[in-house]
Amino acid sequence: MNGISSYEWDDWKWQLANSLKGINGLKTLLNLDTDIDTDRCDAIDGLKEVIKRYPFKVSPYYASLCRLYGLNFKNPIFKQIVPSLNEISYPPHPLSSKDPFREGELSPVPSLIHRYSDRALLLATAQCASYCRHCNRKRHWIEPSVPTLLNRRYREMAMSYLAKNKAIREVILSGGDPFMLSTESIKRILSMIRAIRHIEVIRIGTRAPVTMPMRVTKGLVAMLKKFRPVWINTHFNHPLEITREATIAIDRLLCSGLPVSNQAVLLKGVNNSYEVLKGLFTGLQAIGVRPYYLFHCDPVMGADHFRTTIKEGIDIMDRLWGKIGGLCMPFYVFDLPDAEGKAILSQNHIISRENGYIYLKGMSGNVVKWEEKGHKQATKK
By the criterion CB under 6 A, which residues form the site for ligand PLP? 113, 115-116, 119, 121, 172, 342
The bridge status of strand 112-116 relative to strand 119-123 is antiparallel
Q: Does the active-site annotation cover 128?
A: yes
Taking CB under 6 A as the rule, does residue 298 contact ligand SF4?
Answer: no
> Dmax over Cα atoms in the chain, in whole Å?
86
Q: Which of 177, 166, 165 is nearest to 108 (CA)?
A: 165
Interaction partner, residue 207 (ligand SF4, ligand PLP, none; CB < 5-8 Å by kind) = ligand SF4
Taking CB under 6 A as the rule, does residue 137 contact ligand SF4?
Answer: yes
Minimum CB separation of residue 81 from ligand PLP in Å reads 24
Taking CB under 6 A as the rule, does residue 128 contact ligand SF4?
Answer: yes
With beta carbons less than 8 A apart as the criterion, state whether 103 and 181 touch.
Answer: no
Q: Which is nearer to ligand PLP, 66 or 264 (CB)?
A: 264
The upper half-sphere exposure of residue 267, i.e. CA atoms within 13 Å in the direction of its Cβ, equals 26
With beta carbons less than 8 A apart as the criterion, state whether 81 and 54 touch.
Answer: no
With beta carbons less than 8 A apart as the criterion, state whether 175 and 123 touch.
Answer: yes
Q: Does the active-site annotation cover 116?
A: yes
Interaction partner, residue 115 (ligand PLP, ligand SF4, none; CB < 5-8 Å by kind) = ligand PLP
Encoded one letter per residue, x for contact with ligand SF4 by CB under 6 A and - for no contact, window 149-188 reads: --------------------------xxx-----------
Which residue is catalytic, options 57, 131, 132, 328?
132
With beta carbons less than 8 A apart as the criterion, state whether 321 and 278 touch.
Answer: no
d(CA 177, CA 129): 8
Q: Which is nearer to ligand PLP, 113 or 214 (CB)?
A: 113
Q: Does the active-site annotation cover 328?
A: no
Residues 194-253 that bind ligand SF4 (CB under 6 A): 207, 235
Strand order in the sheet with 230-234: 112-116, 119-123, 170-174, 201-205, 230-234, 260-265, 290-295, 331-335, 342-344
Taking CB under 6 A as the rule, does residue 132 contact ligand SF4?
Answer: yes
Taking CB under 6 A as the rule, does residue 131 contact ligand SF4?
Answer: yes
Active site residues: 115-116, 119, 128, 132, 135, 137, 298, 335, 342
